[in-house]
Chains A and B, each alone.
Chain A
């Protein structure tokens, strides 16, 4: 508790201080409940910080759209390797359908005047 009043202002003020100490506010039930709720929600979880920060792999995975996106990319990669290795029989026919047959195209001059400039230059 405070020292015995000595100075004139201490003597004058001590009754005010004493009454103020007696009239100190006390926490309401609502405030106590809020603080306890914070205590239960705010307790640190072991390893949470590490998980939040993540290593290089976690950050790269997140940048690519998470594990589902990474799974899709892996499946597509495997399919490409398999097609390249096995070269299924139907692939040639599919290629013939999709690709333009050799000789069945013609050149189009997109900038016909360039040659003239180059020659004239």
Chain B
């Protein structure tokens, strides 16, 4: 899976960000290659609208460019910072949309019944996306970061600015709600029961 980890890479995200601030275009390209997919993944899973997810990913990256010159080395991991920015932008949009008119939020298409095997994975992912969309925002965020992004609980706690125990509680409640909704669809979606 795609995951940026400073320690596993020959050049850290932070080094690239500092190089970008000094005028290195190649560093910007590397950062986009590493971080934009993550920003888009999280935004797409938090929101229901792919266009909005792209806007959020772009906005988060823009904030990163603007933060580059004042970046304080060693204070926070770039990826952690970006996860937090993307999550907060998504929650802001969800709250505004809820306040405005929830009916205007486009529903994703239902998984097509009897889809071909190669489409079945997408249908399952879509079913999960619909179920995630019904979770409260913070539970959704915690489940996405833990189980789809594969982040450890301490990093999620940093991103969400809560305790590790609160992260565990949010993911546990989120998963119970997801299981209650999705387990009944396992056979329909082609999973062995």
Contact = CB atoms under 8 A, between A and B. Distances in A.
B128 A17 contact: yes
A52 B60 CA distance: 24
B188 to A, nearest CB: 13
A23 B108 CA distance: 15
Contact of A24 (B2, B66, B127, B146): B2
Contacts of B148: 17, 20-21, 24
B48 interface: no
A8 to B, nearest CB: 8
B73 interface: no
Contact of A44 (B45, B58, B66): B66
B179 A12 contact: yes
Given A2-B150, A16-B182, A38 B127 contact: no
Contacts of B32: 32, 35-36, 39
A19 B45 CA distance: 13
Contacts of A42: 62, 65-66
Interface string B169-193: 0000001101100110010000100
Given A1-B1, A44-B66, A31 B40 contact: yes
A26 interface: yes
Given A15-B191, A31-B57, A34-B58, 5 more contacts: A13-B179, A22-B121, A24-B148, A35-B32, A44-B66
Interface of A: 1-2, 7-10, 12-13, 15-17, 19-28, 31-32, 34-36, 38-40, 42-44
Interface of B: 1-2, 20-21, 23, 25, 28-29, 31-32, 36-37, 40-41, 44-45, 50, 53-54, 57-58, 61-62, 65-66, 68-69, 121-122, 124-125, 127-129, 146-148, 150, 175-176, 178-179, 182-183, 186, 191
14 contacts: A2-B150, A16-B128, A23-B122, A23-B125, A27-B36, A27-B57, A32-B32, A35-B36, A36-B28, A38-B61, A39-B32, A39-B65, A42-B62, A44-B69
